[in-house]
Amino acid sequence: MSEQNPLISPDQLPPAKDAPPLSADASIQAALGLFETHMRNEGFAINTMKAFASDVRLLGKYLGIGQPIGKIGTNNLNDFLKWLLEERGVPCSPKSYARRVTTLKVFFGWLHEAGVLPNDPSAAVIQRSVKSPLPNIPTEADLEKALAVSQQMREGSQESKADARPHLLLTLLLLTGIKKGEAMSIVPNHIDRNNPDQPMLFIRYANPRLRYKERKLYLESEWLDVLDEYLAKYKPPDTLFTCTPRNLEYILRDIGDEAGLARGLLSFENLRWASTMRDWRANVEQDDIRQKLGLSKITWRETKSKLERLAARENEKEL
């Protein structure tokens, strides 16, 4: 494996503000330790920190964990990515490959911005056209059928008692795009009714490291009527949903089955994408969508790419 020396000697550069105590002669191992501290300080998600650290260790395995960071060039990184795809002997999914490219850009971009490296070897890394598969999300026609079914469940019939919970859950997910864990953590006082015409849901996190994901999401005034019906029947003592996460999945499955939809189409993940696509089609500001989903700017890159591809796929079907 070849090495590329930097064009400028590190000692010719002025020290950057808040620069980590590293030099270009430091090893990948030494840089990784400070990179992990940097990620913690910047509020990276725990799973992102673990994944990025694992990717840098994998680079260290390929180049040698003691390799000086100042002697790593663009060719080394391109060779590493080729090794991951073609020579390592372990499958590298499109999603993992894209994340590892992101890791390189974040890691070496940080070293460059901090003044440790005179140039960023990841800036010119070759982006292979490896795309992760698109989710199979319900269409608007599918959602209309599902909403009609959940409304019927809300109203009840001779065969079954009225139950607002299916309609409450389905409409909540379509309005907010929240994850299953976030739905399970809602307590009634997280719903702000101060302005009945524009109620809001506050997403809270007990873990201080995840506080950056906290956000407020807009609901609809009509949704409060469904909520009141649900609260009157279930009287939740603490969290809004008194059942298990699996039970919520069963509720979505039953709605989908009754609506004649493919099994699994109405999942938390697919409804999150469906909610996001509604915002995308409505030309909501991209950063507003990102914040609504509680995504970091790094994670948003892949999400945005998928939204663009989903929109393109929809346009092709309409032609």
pLDDT of the residue at 224: 96
131 within some domain: no
Number of domains in the chain: 2
3-state secondary structure of 13: coil
Q: What is the C-alpha separation between 255 and 163, in angstroms, rounded?
A: 12
Kindly state whether residues 303 and 235 are assigned to the same domain: yes
Residues 173 and 312 in one domain: yes
Whether residues 107 and 164 fall in one domain: no
Mean pLDDT in the chain?
88
Enclosing domain of residue 100:
10-113
> Are both 294 and 165 inside the same structural domain?
yes
Q: Is residue 123 in some structural domain?
A: no
Q: Binning pLDDT at 50, 70 and 90, where does residue 189 land?
A: very high
202 and 292 fall within a common domain? yes
Q: Which of 63, 64, 62, 81 is nearest to 122 (CA)?
A: 81
Whether residue 8 is predicted with pLDDT greater than 50 in this model: the reply is: no
Tokens 């591809």 — which residue? 309
Question: Cα-flanking dihedrals φ and ψ of residue 220, to 5°?
Answer: -120, 150
Give the CATH number for residue 263.
1.10.443.10
Each residue's pLDDT tens digit, 135-165:
899 999 999 999 999 999 999 875 678 999 9
Q: Do 307 and 164 fall into the same domain?
A: yes
pLDDT at 158: 59
Residue 212 lies in a domain: yes
Percent of the chain whose predicted confidence (pLDDT) is above 90: 69
Identify whether residues 65 and 200 lie together within a single domain. Answer: no
Mean pLDDT across the stretch 8-19? 42
| pLDDT for 132 | 67
The better pLDDT of the pair 243, 211 is held by 243
Residue 122, pLDDT > 60, answer: yes
Complete edge-to-edge strand list for the sheet that includes strand 215-218: 191-192, 200-203, 215-218
In whole angstroms, give the CA distance from residue 226 to residue 69: 58
The strand pair at 215-218 and 200-203 is best described as: antiparallel
Question: Do 298 and 203 share a domain, yes or no?
Answer: yes
Q: Determine, yes or no, domain membership for 86.
A: yes
Position 11 pLDDT exceeds 60: no
Domain assignment present for residue 207? The answer is yes
Examine the domain organization and report whether 89 and 188 are in the same domain.
Answer: no
**Is position 56 within any domain?**
yes
* Same domain flag for 74 and 188: no
* pLDDT tens digits for range 261-311: 999 999 999 999 999 999 999 999 999 999 999 988 877 888 998 999 999
Query: Do residues 281 and 227 both lie within one domain?
Result: yes
Is the pLDDT assigned to residue 61 strictly greater than 80? yes
pLDDT value of residue 64: 93
pLDDT of residue 1: 42
30 within domain boundaries: yes
Helices (H), the chain: 28-41, 46-63, 74-82, 94-113, 140-155, 165-176, 180-184, 221-234, 245-258, 268-281, 286-293, 297-318
Q: Are 94 and 144 in contact (CB under 8 A)?
A: no
Q: What whole-number percentage of the chain has pLDDT above 70?
A: 91
**pLDDT of the residue at 129:** 56
User: Where is the domain boundary, 66, 98, 113?
Assistant: 113
| pLDDT value at residue 128 | 66
- With respect to residue 127, please indicate whether it lies within any of the assigned structural domains: no
Taking only the tens place, the pLDDT of each residue in 195-223 is 989 999 999 988 877 777 889 999 999 99
Last residue of a domain, one of 66, 97, 113: 113
CATH number at residue 52: 1.10.150.130
Please give the residue that has the higher pLDDT: either 19 or 41: 41
42 confidence band (pLDDT: 50, 70, 90): confident
Is 158 found in the same domain as 303? yes
Q: Residue 249 — φ and ψ, nearest 5°?
A: -65, -40
> Is the confidence at residue 16, as pLDDT, over 80?
no
- The better pLDDT of the pair 11, 100 is held by 100
Output the CA–CA distances (angstroms, integers) from residue 316 to 129, 310, 319, in the order listed.
Answer: 20, 10, 5
Residue 10 has pLDDT above 60, yes or no: no
